[in-house]
């Protein structure tokens, strides 16, 4: 059996509460012999959340006394802390040097520079590592890509949350239908709505809008085809990809794809401070 260990700042958050059960169900359905067996958290959950010990009893996993102990016990790793990407580089340091397959939850890193350092560390120690948002594997999105390829002429996406953390879901979906090659972006703010236009190296464009309580939507155009893509079931597809990665250690999302997403997000944040001005999507952070 493949033993999977989870690393987090603290437990009793949405992702750590749900991912073990999602992965167990997916493994059972698709015939993967694996389980989440061990966890390590820096501190107990704040604000009355479950302690690490209580959470482990509830989820039927073993608490590790240190990251080193966890990495010794397991065959694969999940670095969590999904709601705050600032600690990711620190939390992942030892895992990225362990040589075992590592998944790092969204958002990968707070800056492109940090993302490059994390990839470089994983490569230095021959550690298979990838990151993505579960929305990347939305079933409707994958069907569109299979039918029409990943180079839409135009895409418009909307979603909730904030640019620092939650925008990753839209960028992952955007890259699936547009591919790579974003070169610059321009932003505007309308009350509490952020809108960013991205231009690609072949002249194609994509529109990104984000604001409170806005649902995930996506509209694409390619040739004579204009289609709205529903955003519904994504955890099934994502967990299947994750199980395959832990089994064959083949990275499903390339370094280059992830770094372009990080660059797009970083340029978008900059553009929102200078509305109406084109900001380059620069990948030069190595």
Residues 151 and 201 grouped into a single domain: yes
pLDDT classification of 285: cutoffs 50, 70, 90: low
Residue 149, domain extent? 135-232+264-280
Look at residue 246 and tell me if it is in a domain: no
Residues 84 and 183 grouped into a single domain: no
> Residue 209: which CATH number?
3.30.360.10
Residues 54 and 175 grouped into a single domain: no
Q: What is the pLDDT of residue 162?
A: 86
Residues 100 and 171 grouped into a single domain: no
Residues 141 and 270 grouped into a single domain: yes
Q: What is the mean pLDDT of residues 204-224?
A: 91
pLDDT classification of 169: cutoffs 50, 70, 90: very high
**pLDDT single digits (tens) 72-102:** 999 999 999 998 999 999 999 999 999 999 9
Distance between CA atoms of 263 and 191, rounded to whole angstroms?
25
Residues 126 and 141 grouped into a single domain: no
Which residue among 97, 112, 131 closes a domain?
A: 131
pLDDT classification of 38: cutoffs 50, 70, 90: very high
Residues 46 and 123 grouped into a single domain: yes
Neighbours of 95 (CB within 10 A): 29
Q: What is the mean pLDDT of residues 32-50?
A: 96
Dump strand ranges (E) for the chain.
2-8, 34-41, 62-63, 76-79, 102-104, 129-131, 154-159, 182-190, 193-200, 205-210, 217-222, 225-229, 279-280
Q: What is the mean pLDDT of residues 148-153?
A: 82
Look at residue 87 and tell me if it is in a domain: yes
How many structural domains are present in the chain?
Answer: 2
Q: Does the pTM of the predicted model rise above 0.75?
A: yes
Residues 117 and 187 grouped into a single domain: no
Which residue among 111, 131, 151 closes a domain?
A: 131
pLDDT at 58 over 80: yes
Whole-number average pLDDT of the chain: 94
Q: What is the pLDDT of residue 232?
A: 81
Q: What is the pLDDT of residue 82?
A: 92
Look at residue 127 and tell me if it is in a domain: yes
Look at residue 253 and tell me if it is in a domain: no
Q: What is the mean pLDDT of residues 194-219?
A: 94
CA 95-101-104 angle, to 5 degrees, is 60
If one compares 128 and 141, the residue with the highest pLDDT of the two is 128
Look at residue 150 and tell me if it is in a domain: yes
Dump strand ranges (E) for 42-191.
62-63, 76-79, 102-104, 129-131, 154-159, 182-190
Which residue among 131, 157, 178 closes a domain?
A: 131
DSSP helix/strand/coil, 240: helix
Residues 140 and 216 grouped into a single domain: yes
pLDDT classification of 279: cutoffs 50, 70, 90: very high
Q: What is the pLDDT of residue 226?
A: 86
Q: What is the pLDDT of residue 191?
A: 84
pLDDT classification of 4: cutoffs 50, 70, 90: very high
Look at residue 259 and tell me if it is in a domain: no
Residues 175 and 272 grouped into a single domain: yes
> Residue 91: which CATH number?
3.40.50.720
Residue 106 Cα distances to 62, 150, 156, angstroms: 24, 22, 22
Count of all residues that appear for the chain in the document: 286
Do 149 and 232 contact (CB within 8 A), yes or no? no
pLDDT classification of 147: cutoffs 50, 70, 90: confident
If one compares 267 and 163, the residue with the highest pLDDT of the two is 267
């Amino acid at each position: 059996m493949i033993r999977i260990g989870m690393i987090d700042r603290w437990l009793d958050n949405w992702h750590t509460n749900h991912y073990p059960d999602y992965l167990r169900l997916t493994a059972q359905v698709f015939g993967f012999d694996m389980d989440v067996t061990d966890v390590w958290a820096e501190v107990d959950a704040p604000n009355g959340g479950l302690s690490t010990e209580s959470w482990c009893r509830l989820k039927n996993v073993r608490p590790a006394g240190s990251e080193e102990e966890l990495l010794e016990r397991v065959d694969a790793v999940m670095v969590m802390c999904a709601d705050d990407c600032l600690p990711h580089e620190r939390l992942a340091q030892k895992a990225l040097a362990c040589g075992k397959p590592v998944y790092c939850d969204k958002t990968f890193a707070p800056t492109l520079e940090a993302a490059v350092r994390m990839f470089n560390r994983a490569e230095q120690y021959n550690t298979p590592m990838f990151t993505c948002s579960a929305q990347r594997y939305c079933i409707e999105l994958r069907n569109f890509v299979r039918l029409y390829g990943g180079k839409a002429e135009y895409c418009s996406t909307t979603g909730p949350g904030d640019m620092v953390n939650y925008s990753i879901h839209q960028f992952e979906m955007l890259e699936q239908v547009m591919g790579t090659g974003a070169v610059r972006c321009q932003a505007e703010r309308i009350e509490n709505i952020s809108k960013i236009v991205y231009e690609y190296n072949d002249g194609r464009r994509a529109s990104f809008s984000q604001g409170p309580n806005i649902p995930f939507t996506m509209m694409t155009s390619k040739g004579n085809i204009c289609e709205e893509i529903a955003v519904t079931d994504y955890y099934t597809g994502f967990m299947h990809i994750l199980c395959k990665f832990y089994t064959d250690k083949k990275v499903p999302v390339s370094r280059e794809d992830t770094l372009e997403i990080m660059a797009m997000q970083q340029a978008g944040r900059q553009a929102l401070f200078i509305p109406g001005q084109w900001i380059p999507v620069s990948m030069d952070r190595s």
